[in-house]
Amino acid sequence: MGEGRLGVRKTYKLYIGGAFPRSESGRSYEVTGAGGEFLANVALASRKDVRDAVVAARRAQPGWSSATAYLRGQVLYRAAEMMEGRRGQFAEVVAGAEGLAAGEAASVVGAAVDRMVWYAGWSDKLAQVAGAANPVAGPYFNFSVPEPTGVVGVLAPQASSLLGLVSVLAPVVVSGNAAVVVASQERPLPAVELAEVLATSDLPGGVVNMLTGRTAELAPVLAAHRDVEALDLAGAPEGLEAELEATAAGNVKRVLRRRKPEPDWAGEPGPERMLYFVETKTVWHPIGL
Amino acid sequence: MAFSRFPYAPAPESRSIVNLRPSYGLFIGGQWAEPADGDHFKTESPSSEEVLAEVSSAGPEDVDRAVRAARRAYDEVWAPMPGKERAKYLFRVARLVQERSRELAVLESLDNGKPIRESRDVDVPLAAAHFFYHAGWADKLPYAGFGPSPEPLGVAGQVIPWNFPLLMAAWKLAPALAAGNTCVLKPAETTPLSALVLAEIFQQADLPPGVVNIVTGAGATGAALVAHPGVDKVAFTGSTEVGKQIQRAVAGTGRHLTLELGGKAANIVFDDAPLSQAIEGIVNGIFFNQGHVCCAGSRLLVQEPVAEGVVEALKRRLATLRLGDPLDKNTDIGAINSPQQLDKIRELSASGEAEGAQRWTPACPLPERGYWFPPTLFTGVAPSQRIAREEIFGPVLSVLTFRTPEEAVEKANNTTYGLSAGVWTEKGSRILYMASRLKAGVVWANTFNRFDPASPFGGYRESGFGREGGRQGLAAYLKGPLDG
């Protein structure tokens, strides 16, 4: 790489159904760094892109949830491996997005990779921790298992562009849900990088769909969509949460509210986010000869 | 026919065990209080249209008083109390319900219209079991998997339906109290009486004043409770329509919410099913409690090779069901709970005929007074028809057919609800295949309509969220790490 070589820049696109389309609207917006410098133009997703992403997620979800927990864990671990290999690139976009010094950005990226590994290991333990054989008062075998809720709309944290994103996305998909993610509006580049990692991690297309754009424009579409069963408001715009929650009642969505202020994602998360996006299924069967 | 009705002599349970007062106030802060800004209304027996008692209707000021009483009890008594002491109160309540079980069963059948066999064998014993089960959790919460010192939410506002009045009260109160919350309970308008006897039981148990407050009334009372800013947690069992209104009302308030809503369960019968068992299960699935059951098996999906035989056997069995006096121990099918509900069942059944399904009912004389609907079967039902999609909440079964397991899954899941499902087959692997694919919170395999306090109950999708019963049910009344 001799000095003066003109770099080949990347086109930042959406990630829908395993493919990388531009927005169907043809729109894009300018992303700047913490210092106001131009970083890239990224796709400005439209309402139609949201709907397309939900269709892709719905199509992918049954296969993903019926994959074995072991396999889902390996796929997430593979994603961590791919992240590890692109740490430099991640550090660069995280530093640009969040205005961090190189060392700080590298440590955030390391934490994000470790977070993915942490959740990967949960895939085949969640049902053991959250499920049960229930001692009912009668001749029945009765057991409860957590099952994925279905298609989950995720508004990614606005500040923590990679660690926050991985911290809300991994717990959704590890249990077998499919996700439609709206990336941090002002800091979307790490999310697109992550989408490129997921596309090369044996994750079936459509299990994760990544949209960049205006959260306030896209979130209401997710909240109103009848084929979305749950909503994570982690990165919901200030002042819009009550309306999103009320809209979500249209099909009785499970809504995880935003914590204020945005939490420090560095701490060990615990299983709560995974448990929020599963349904307990209980099965009865008689015992007898 | 061999299986026509045998001539049974009436065997009515005596109602003398029930000593109703002519008029009931509201139960606030451990005292009976006349409504400050509310009114009174009469509660009648749906099987005789006889007025049973006059009951208070709580207005907004009454609800406010109840919430403040609950808050005071929470701050001063119940939350600071060691779990093992809370446990002993709940054990007391469980024992008192058992001691007064006969009275409660008769009262429940009088006020609700359900057969005494069901109130005696299901509603009341399960209500006692719920208090007993949750009593044991009260001092074991650190081991329930919610962190080393899980905290209660505060004041719970709980609105319950008329189909299992006492049992639903127990489902709501027992876990809330075990976790250290205090409660304001709003029983259904048409079935307030067993909750008011439960208030007497709380007095007999010396439960500290304000730990449970009971405000009777109609929808407006429930709406005032749900919207009260002093309520930290809203729990509702009832229709999906009202559940959505409540979810909207709670939106943006930061308050906690769990919903147990409607259902349209598929009861799936494969061609290798133990058919005589399945027939009993189908009958239990839809005619238990007059079909006033959110998890009722209201859509029968039968595999084609056995469809004709199953329908014939069902018709024979339905012809033997006894409809009539809920207090008669022979009665299988009691009264419809209210004229409004009867209208709804009639309207939906008429739509079934109008949309082309074939309606069948056995010869079934209906009593002259009261609200009644005969057990009804619809065959030739298409998935698009209203009787296959909408919750009828009555003794009406829609029969559909399928060929392959995949088709059964597809049809069963083709609903916005997801509360329960049934599977009948002798093949174990097929049961587990079906159970894993059905989008339902409860799957009954070779059985139906079983309930237990240790068994989590609740829905997928528009049947609501949150669970009642089991370790999972405690989460609805404890603070979690994700709560702001």
Tens of pLDDT, residue by residue over B139-170, are 999 999 999 999 999 999 999 999 999 999 99
Reported as a pLDDT band with limits 50, 70 and 90, residue B2 is very low
**3-state SS class at B69:** helix
Distance CA A223, CA A220 (A): 5
The single residue of B13, B108, B118, B294 carrying the catalytic annotation is B294
In a domain, A188, yes or no: yes
The single residue of B260, B391, B462, B468 carrying the catalytic annotation is B260
E strand segments, B8-147: 23-24, 26-28, 31-33, 39-44, 51-57
pLDDT for res B5: 60
Least confident of A31-35, A101-105, B354-358: A31-35
Distance CA A156, CA A219 (A): 11
Residues 6 or more apart whose CB falls under 8 angstroms from that of B459 comprise B260, B261, B263, B417, B418, B419, B420, B440, B441, B465
- Whether the per-residue pLDDT at B261 is higher than 70: the answer is yes
Closest-CA residue of B relative to A254 is B465
Residue whose token pair is 């998935």: B383
pLDDT for res B189: 97
pLDDT for res B38: 80
What mean pLDDT is predicted for residues B433-446?
98
User: Does B440 lie at the interface with A, CB-CB under 8 angstroms?
Assistant: yes
DSSP notation for B182-194: EEEEE--TT--HH
Secondary structure of A38-95 in HEC code, one letter for each residue: EEEEEECCCHHHHHHHHHHHHHHHHHHHHCCHHHHHHHHHHHHHHHHHCHHHHHHHHH
Structural domain span for residue A194: 12-286
In a domain, A1, yes or no: no
User: Does B216 lie at the interface with A, CB-CB under 8 angstroms?
Assistant: no
Q: Which of A244, A259, A285, A287 best tests the B interface by mutation, with the highest count of B CBs <10 A? A: A285
Cβ contact B38:B58 at 8 Å: yes
* Beta-bridge mates of residue A154: A181, A232
In a domain, A76, yes or no: yes
In a domain, A71, yes or no: yes
- Chain B residues touching residue A281 (CB < 8 angstroms): 435, 440-443, 460
In a domain, A191, yes or no: yes
Question: Distance from first CA to last CA of chain A, Å, rounded?
Answer: 76
Distance CA B371, CA B343 (A): 10
Query: Residues of A251-266 as b/e, b for ≥16 C-beta within 10 angstroms?
Result: bbbbbbbbeeeebebe
pLDDT for res B1: 45
Nearest to A281 among B245, B441, B452 (CB): B441
Is B34 one of the annotated active-site residues of the chain? Answer: no
- Count of domains forming chain A: 1
Distance CA A197, CA A80 (A): 9
Residue A284 dihedral angles phi and psi, to the nearest 5°? -110, 140
Reading the block at residue A225, the tokens are: 């969509």
Tens of pLDDT, residue by residue over B276-286, are 999 999 999 99
Share of chain B above pLDDT 90, in %: 96
Cβ contact A191:A93 at 8 Å: no
- Whether the per-residue pLDDT at B414 is higher than 80: the answer is yes
ipTM of the prediction: 0.96
Reported as a pLDDT band with limits 50, 70 and 90, residue B3 is low
- Chain B residues touching residue A66 (CB < 8 angstroms): 436
- Whether the per-residue pLDDT at A1 is higher than 50: the answer is no
What mean pLDDT is predicted for residues B98-123?
98
Q: Which of A104, A140, A153, A149 is nearest to A266 (CA)?
A: A104
Domain at A132, CATH number? 3.40.605.10
Element of type H or E holding A132: strand A132-133
What mean pLDDT is predicted for residues B43-70?
98
Chain B, 103-142: which have a CB under 8 Å from a chain A CB? 129
In a domain, A6, yes or no: no
Residues 6 or more apart whose CB falls under 8 angstroms from that of A125 comprise none
Q: Which of B461, B260, B245 is nearest to A229 (CA)?
A: B461
pLDDT for res A249: 98
Distance CA B261, CA B268 (A): 22
* Beta-bridge mates of residue A148: A278
Reported as a pLDDT band with limits 50, 70 and 90, residue B7 is confident
Alpha carbon of B413: minimum distance to chain A alpha carbons (Å) = 13
Closest-CA residue of A relative to B455 is A134
- Chain A residues touching residue B441 (CB < 8 angstroms): 279-282
Q: How many CB atoms lie within 10 A of CB A26?
A: 9
In a domain, A223, yes or no: yes
Tens of pLDDT, residue by residue over B104-116, are 999 999 999 999 9
Instruction: Supply the pTM of this predicted model.
Output: 0.96
User: Does B472 lie at the interface with A, CB-CB under 8 angstroms?
Assistant: yes
pLDDT for res B8: 84
In a domain, A3, yes or no: no
Alpha carbon of B48: minimum distance to chain A alpha carbons (Å) = 35
Distance CA B479, CA B458 (A): 19
Question: Distance from first CA to last CA of chain B, Å, rounded?
Answer: 66
> Sign of torsion, CA B157 B163 B169 B175?
negative
Packing angle between helix A102-120 and helix A69-85, nearest 10 degrees?
170
